[in-house]
Amino acid sequence: MSENELPRTFKNVVEKYPEVWAAHEQLTKACADVGPLDRKTIELIKIGICVGSGLETATKRHAIMARENGANDDEIYQAVLMAVTTIGYPSAAAGWKWVNSVLEK
């Protein structure tokens, strides 16, 4: 999934409300900059949050961003596996499928 593969609805909202997107980006940066976590770790955490929330597109996007920030595939898959004991196997398996679909490309 590249920038061009972002969902059309997402792109439409960003285009229609650029000030809302800019505020979102500022909040994202502020949350990341407030503590000691590096970008790779933040992306791995976000994978877990997205899997737990059932957010397919966000899970895929953060898997790509984790890889871009130095995470290897084993680290990304482990982030998904951590969900098994918290949200259950079926939800974690869905997350695995989503991540696998972008890592296998």
- Over residues 8-53, the pLDDT tens digits come to 888 899 999 999 999 999 999 999 999 999 999 999 999 999 999 9
Q: Are 18 and 51 in contact (CB under 8 A)?
A: no
What's the pLDDT band for 1 if we cut at 50, 70, 90?
Answer: very low
Dist CA 39 CA 90 (whole Å): 28
Domain 37-105 bears CATH identifier 1.20.1290.10 = yes
